[in-house]
Amino acid sequence: MMATTLCTQRLTLEPLTLADIQAIYAIAKERQSIEDFQYVASSVDDVKAWLEPSYHDPTQFVWIIRKEGHTIGLFEVCFEAEYSDLEDKVCRIGYFLDFREHNQGYATEVLLTVRDWLFGYMDVERIEAGVTLCNIPSYRVLEKAGFTREKIVKGNWRWYGKFYDSAYYYLLKTSTI
């Protein structure tokens, strides 16, 4: 199955295309926008090399987040566990927004829409996500969407030469029914 276009109250999520690479680069080159991805883009070619495999990978969906036609972020779903031992009916998520679009509820809005789509239309029973403990807004988004903090791992996230602790979250389909 391919990712489909999803709409929230204020935003549109469209499957990633090659035409989106420049707009993602403009966001991903900003450290404030991309913090928990452990990735800061150094060039358009760098972004293309990072995202191009997702075009052909049936275990991964990548959406571009648009507000009034302008790209403001990216949301990805990988149909594999991040830290649990589960092998099926599980996915992990990741997302980022242009730092100029933070604190407006967009991440929560998008996450709720993708959550409902995954549980309603995909064979998913558990969604996982990881976030650094210092990224309070990101883990609050997860908590607003009903995710539960499962564990904390000390010093497993390296960012600009410094190690950070991470929190791992999960949400079960039965929690949203």
Q: Where are the domains of the chain?
A: 6-128
pTM (predicted TM-score): 0.90
pLDDT at 36: 60
Task: Show the tokens assigned to 110.
Answer: 């998008």
- The pLDDT, as a whole number, for residue 31 is 79
| Structure-block tokens of residue 28 | 């991903």
Report the mean per-residue pLDDT for the chain.
89
Q: Among all chains, which residue has been given the structure tokens 């275990």?
A: 59
Burial of 155 (0-12, 13-18, 19+ CB in 10 A): exposed
Confidence (pLDDT) at 110: 97
Distance of CA 140 to the CA centre of its chain: 14
pLDDT of residue 177: 61
Q: How confident is the prediction along the chain (177 residues), in pLDDT tens digits per residue?
A: 567 999 999 999 999 998 999 999 999 888 788 766 656 678 889 888 888 878 778 788 999 999 999 999 999 999 987 777 778 899 999 999 999 999 999 999 999 999 999 999 999 999 999 998 888 888 899 999 999 999 999 988 777 778 888 899 999 998 776
CATH architecture of 6-128: 3-Layer(aba) Sandwich (3.40)
